[in-house]
Amino acid sequence: MGIGGISVGSLLVILVIVLLLFGTKKLRNVGTDLGGAIKGFRSAMKEGEQAGTEASEDKKAEEAEPAQLSQAEDDAAVKSGSEEQKSSREQSS
């Protein structure tokens, strides 16, 4: 018994019929296209995994450096606050 209850002899007969119907050139093209599709799928999966890994590393880096970010925000707030005070003084004068 072969695959799914089909004997090896039956599989060979089916293969010969497929070859006669489609020809070797057509089957070669189908095989090439199928191989290219599988290769493209694998490379896309690898790129997706790498992008996911990079995103998680970026997220970890952001979580590890919140003090630096808040310090920069504080500096920016102080600068903008002093500029607002200057402009309000000029307007009131």
What pLDDT does 40 receive? 95
**Is residue 69 predicted with pLDDT exceeding 60?**
no
Q: Which domain holds residue 44?
A: 23-50
Residue 88 lies in a domain: no
What pLDDT does 36 receive? 96
Residue 78 confidence class, pLDDT cut points 50, 70, 90? low
Query: Which amino acid is it at 11?
Result: L
- Structural domains of the chain, count: 1
The pTM (predicted TM-score) of the whole model is: 0.44
Report whether 2 contacts 10 (CB < 8 A): yes
For residue 36 the two structure tokens come to 């290219």
Residue 3 lies in a domain: no
Calculate the CA dihedral of residues 83, 85, 91, 93 and round it to 10 degrees.
-120
27 exposure class (CB count in 10 Å sphere: 0-12, 13-18, 19+): middle
pLDDT tens readout for residues 20-58: 999 989 989 999 999 999 999 999 999 988 888 777 777
